Structure formats: C-alpha cells, structure tokens
Amino acid sequence: MEVERIQALAAVGLDTLPAQFVRPSHEQPENSPAVEGVFVPVISLSQPHHALIREIHEACRDWGFFLATDHGIPLELTGQLQEAGREFFRLPQEEKEKYANDPSRKNFEGYGTKMTKNPDEKVEWVDYFFHFMHPSGKVRHEIWPRHPPSYREVTEEYNKEILKVTEVLLELISDGLGLEKNVLKASLGGDQMELEMKINLYPPCPQPQLALGVEPHTDMSVVTILVPNDVPGLQVWKDGNWFAADYLPNALFCHIGDQIEVLSNGKYKSVLHRSLVNKEKTRMSWAVFCAPPQEALIGPLPELINDQNPAKYSTKMYAEFRHRKLNKLPQ
Ligand SMILES: O=C(O)CCC(=O)C(=O)O
C-alpha cells in the first residue's frame, strides 16, 4: 500500500497545510496554548534517597511526568543514538520504503506514518521507525535499519543503559507507593518486560499552529523514557491545562504510562501528552516504551486496595488492554 510520507510532503515546500492535517479548532495549538511560566518537575537521580523518593512520588501523583537528570547514561552515547536515527531519515525515500511496516496487518515494526484512527480523520505530522529492543527473544535485528552501519551497536548499547534506568525508576516508583522495591518489576513480567524504540521525525510544517505532531494520548506502557533533539514541542496535560516540557540537555523525559496508573489504582496517573511541530526546524524524539509481556495479568495491586479504596480498574491481560486501547474500546 502506498503511504504518503510526511517527510516527502514537507520536502515539496508547501505554503498551506493540506486539509487532512488541520486539527479541529479546539485542538489547534493556537487555540489551546500552554500555560507560561510553570515548569515540569526536574529530578536529579543522584540526590539523597529520601528526597528522591519524595520528589518522584509527588511528580508521579501530580503530573505523571518528570525530567530525570544525573541518570548515568553517557551524553556521548545519546548523541550517537540520535545521529544514527538522523542518518536513517536522511536516506533516499526509496531506501526508507524498504523498511515500511503495515499496521493494517498488525505489523507495527519498521518505518511508518500513522494512518487516521480518530473521529475527525486527521493525520499526525510525523513519520517514525519502531522496533523492539528487549528482551532478545522479541528482537528482529533483520528489520532494524542497516544504515548507518553503527545503528545496531549504538542502539544495543543504549538499550542496556535504558534498561538499567527503567529498573531504577521502577524501584523508586514502588518505594513511592509504599511497596517493596521489587514489586512493580515483578508485577510487570520481571526480566520479560519489553523495551520498544520509536524514533519520531517531525519535519518542518507550513502551518504549525493548525497541526499536531502526535495528538493527545496517554501511553499504554509502564513508563516511557524519551530524549528529544533541541527543538521544543512536547506538552503535558495537568489540571485542565497544557504545559510545555522544553528541552533540557541530557535529561530523560519520563512519562508514567497506563500500566502504572492501573497497578497503583489511580494513585499515580498516566500523563496525557501531545507534541507540536515547528515551521522551520525538524523535531525528532527517541521514545523507549517499557511494556509488560502480552500475557501479563495487570490490575490494581492487592497492597493498594481495601474496603475504603476499592479497585477502580479491571484486571486483564496486557494483550487485552492493548487491543482495547488500539481499537478505542472501553477498558
Ligand atoms: O515526540 C514527543 O515528544 C512525543 C512522542 C510521543 O508521545 C509518542 O511517540 O507516542
């Protein structure tokens, strides 16, 4: 199936945004601006444990989102990862098409552009590359970019680092919920927890005030850890308003996903977020989604429910949750 790629469309040099990208009026960034002067939480992972737990707890409860600094991932490695992603998207269009995915056949891995799946039939201004990184049994190296040749080595190294950070975050979040530190990881499939890489490319957009890079959504993941390039665009929703999560060099943009909201019985929230696009500059982001294995059974943790605080979410297999979310069915 022939898919219109946003990068190819942008390269034509349009003056006006084609109608399929014009968001409904209430969604347009110019009609739903972010609150100015309020900053998302920034948390140093190297601060004393007690203060760290408190900050993580407050950020997960109030925002479902924070920027993590002093996380130990070498800046050089993140730079190499980003350069490898940029190099892939610099390939001629016909080369990139060799990696095209086909979501209509449930084949999500590879090079893609999101098709409409919203009531207004609007398309997001983004192309992406998506693939599994962990555990090894899920990884299909044959579909990873072969260019640049460094892609595999750099991404495998980044996978190791992000896995360590994910495990640390899950321990801190468990602690913040008053649980033993290994509870969340154990409830999420332990070492079978999956890491997925999604590289987003948002080309310059002729009328960014009318478009969205990704529309408002929460992630069905456990947590999502993202690094953007230096072009701002991510916004998170809190108490009825959008807030910009601007670029902070070498910070990890940490999103609480739906699975933590369910396990915590709503104590921590899955953050609603969206991304804006830019008139002159290409924005990119590298999002790592940490997800349970398909067969993991996820529901509110018994330790967090009682007669005064009954379960607010049903317990179901992650595969079922995913199916419902992808098809916009009630959970
Ligand atoms: O690019 C971003 O900042 C957000 C990306 C995102 O939310 C997604 O890929 O699901």
User: Ligand 1 centroid to 168 CA: how many Å?
Assistant: 22
**Per-residue pLDDT at 119:** 67
Average pLDDT over residues 295-299: 97
Least confident range from 120-129, 144-153, 196-205, 218-227: namely 120-129
**Per-residue pLDDT at 106:** 84
User: Ligand 1 centroid to 287 CA: how many Å?
Assistant: 7
Q: Which atom of ligand 1 is nearest to the CA of 198?
A: 9
Domains of the chain: 6-297 (2.60.120.330)
Q: Which long-range contacts (CB under 8 A, 24 or more apart) does 134-143 make?
A: 134/159, 134/163, 134/193, 134/194, 134/195, 135/191, 135/192, 135/193, 135/194, 138/194, 140/109, 143/99, 143/109, 143/110
Ligand 1 surroundings by CB, under 6 angstroms: 198, 200, 214, 226, 228, 233-234, 273, 275, 285, 287
Q: 198, 255, 267, 269: which is the annotated catalytic residue?
A: 198
Name which residue leads in pLDDT, 206 or 116.
206
pLDDT classification of 177: cutoffs 50, 70, 90: very high
Pocket test for ligand 1, best of 114, 212, 285, 286 (most atoms within 8 A of CB): 285
Is 71 assigned a catalytic role?
no
User: Ligand 1 centroid to 264 CA: how many Å?
Assistant: 23
pLDDT at 118 over 80: no
**Per-residue pLDDT at 141:** 97
Q: The pTM is what? A: 0.97
**Per-residue pLDDT at 204:** 98
Reported as a single tens digit per residue, the pLDDT across 215-258 is 999 999 999 999 999 999 999 999 999 999 999 999 999 999 99
Q: In sequence order, which residues have a C-beta less than 8 Å from that of residue 194 and are 6 or more positions away? A: 132, 134, 135, 138, 290, 291, 292, 293
Q: Is 20 exposed, middle or buried (0-12, 13-18, 19+ CB in 10 A)?
A: exposed
pLDDT at 68 over 70: yes
Average pLDDT over residues 180-204: 97
Reported as a single tens digit per residue, the pLDDT across 79-93 is 999 999 999 999 999
Q: 219, 255, 267, 269: which is the annotated catalytic residue?
A: 219
Integer-rounded Cα radius of gyration of the chain = 19
Is 96 assigned a catalytic role?
no
Query: Amino acid identity of 72?
Result: G
Average pLDDT over residues 179-202: 97
